[in-house]
Amino acid sequence: MKELFSISPTTRVCAVIGNPIEHSLSPAIHNAAYRHLGLDLVYVAHRVEDVKNALAGMRAFDNFRGLSVTIPHKIEVMKYVDEIAAVDRAIGSINTVVHEKDRLIGLGTDGPGALKALVDAGVQLDGKAVLMIGAGGAARAIAFTLAMNRKLRELIIMDIDQTICRGLTADLTAGTDAVVKSESMTEGNLAGAMATADVIVHCTPIGMHPKVDASLIPVEMFRPGQVVFDAVYTPLETKLLRDAKTCGLTIISGVEMFINQAVLQFEQFTSGDAPVAVMRRVVMEHLES
């Protein structure tokens, strides 16, 4: 393994900003990748409350190359960049900023990270019915990415908050050609959707530590041939995924999305291929410890 260059005036800087930020795995993941490739880069974490001035500082430093953005700044940061892709503007949030000469380019890697996880698992999405449970930030990113990059038969969105659910459905209908339906999260509606869904995408905190024994989908609702993707990655295998596995279904952990979004950020920051195996190893070491 190559060693990280000594920090010098030529060293480029990347960072993650959020509040709180102490829990972030991003410095460990990115710095391990930089060391492996011998890149003259360093990645740090900053607790930030003043997003406007944080972005002004990024502009001021020529060697400030990239920024990862986490809660609660993914929406506000959009105000202070120069360019945002259409899909990310429709999603309404970004998690990545790249410093290109005198411009700041904003984009999102959560949605593409989820799509890559599905594709890597061999999931065929064209012509399929997707049931998305949850309509928050992660759901928006994934829903728009799927709707704009694949020809879904239909996309059904469920959430206990009908205002958010209907809002996402309206935005998807206006911004894509996808057939989108919004339904309240009732047992009857869930059973009906599960009877036709080919792919289930779970985007709520249910099943996350400490409530690891909870799942929104009763095991009897699963049917053969379905794919179940859970955006939750702590624990690595949620009750939802365990139940789906017992039914012989294809399951995809949220850790795949998490790794993929970091890989995509790395490639934006460095303009090179990421050492995926190294980044995966670091993530798994932290999550399994």
Q: Strand, helix or coil at 204?
A: coil
Nearest to 204 by CA among 269, 137, 153, 150: 137
240-267 burial, b at 16+ Cβ within 10 Å, e below that, comes to bbbbbeeeebbbbbbbbbbbbbbbbbbe
Q: Strand, helix or coil at 48?
A: coil
- The span from the CA of 165 to the CA of 181, in Å, is 10
Q: Could you say which DSSP state residue 3 is in?
A: P
- The span from the CA of 2 to the CA of 26, in Å, is 20
At residue 120's C-alpha, the angle toward residues 140 and 124, to 5°, is 75
Instruction: List active site positions.
Output: 74
Strands 129-133 and 199-202: parallel
- Rounded to the nearest 10°, the torsion over CA 111, 112, 117, 122 is 120
Would you state the structure tokens that stand for residue 90, as one six-digit string? 């429709």
Strand order in the sheet with 41-47: 41-47, 12-18, 64-69, 96-100, 103-107, 83-84
- The span from the CA of 192 to the CA of 176, in Å, is 24
